[in-house]
Amino acid sequence: FADGTFDAVLMTEVLEHLIDYPRSLEEIVRVLKPEGRAVITTPSRLSPLNAAFHWKARRRRYAFHEHVTELSPGEFLEAMRRGFRDVELSFANFLVPYPLDVLAEKVVSHRAARALKWMERTCQRLPLVQRAGWTMIATAKGPRR
C-alpha cells in the first residue's frame, strides 16, 4: 500500500507472533494517514494470567510456545511511541483470558456473566490492578513525522 493510505489500522493479538515486531509497527506508521488512528493489542508479559499460562505450558510439557515476542507494558509503550503520537495504553482480560470471556457469556447464567463483566470493568478502574490485565490495548494517532 502507498504511504498514508489508511484512516485506521486494527492489529489485534499479532505482535506476539512476530520475530521482528518493530518492523510491523513501522509498516503501520507508514500506511497510516497523518491523522489516522491505530489500535494494537498484545498480551502483557507481566500479567498474572500470562504467568499462569507459562506454568501450564511447563507442566504439560508443551513442545513450543507460539508467542515469540512478549512485551512488558513499558516495552510496548516505548515501541509504540517510536512511531506514533498520543499513545494511550489500557488493559483488559484480568480474570478470564480471551476468548474464554466471550464463551463464558454463552455457557454461564446471565447473572454470572453480568458479574464477570462487572468484575472486569472494576479491575480496569482500580489503579493497583489496572496494569495486571493480560491484554494490553494501545490506541494512537500517527504517524510521528
Residues 60-109 have pLDDT tens digits of 888 777 888 999 999 999 999 999 999 999 998 888 776 677 777 778 88
Q: What is the pLDDT of residue 54?
A: 79
Residues 6+ apart with CB under 8 A from 42: 13, 14, 15, 16, 71, 76, 135, 136
Q: Give me the mean pLDDT over the 20-28 stretch.
A: 96
Question: Which pLDDT does position 116 carry in this prediction?
Answer: 86
Q: In whole angstroms, how far apart are CA 62 and each of 25, 53, 55, 56, 79?
A: 29, 11, 10, 9, 29
- Per-residue confidence (pLDDT) for residue 77, from 0 to 100: 97
Q: What is the mean pLDDT of the chain?
A: 89
Mean pLDDT, residues 41-63 = 86
Q: What is the pLDDT of residue 97?
A: 73
pLDDT at 144: 77
- Percentage of the chain lying above the pLDDT 70 cut: 98
* Residue 7 confidence class, pLDDT cut points 50, 70, 90: very high
CB 58 within 8 A of CB 50: no
Higher pLDDT, 95 or 4: 4
pLDDT at 117: 85
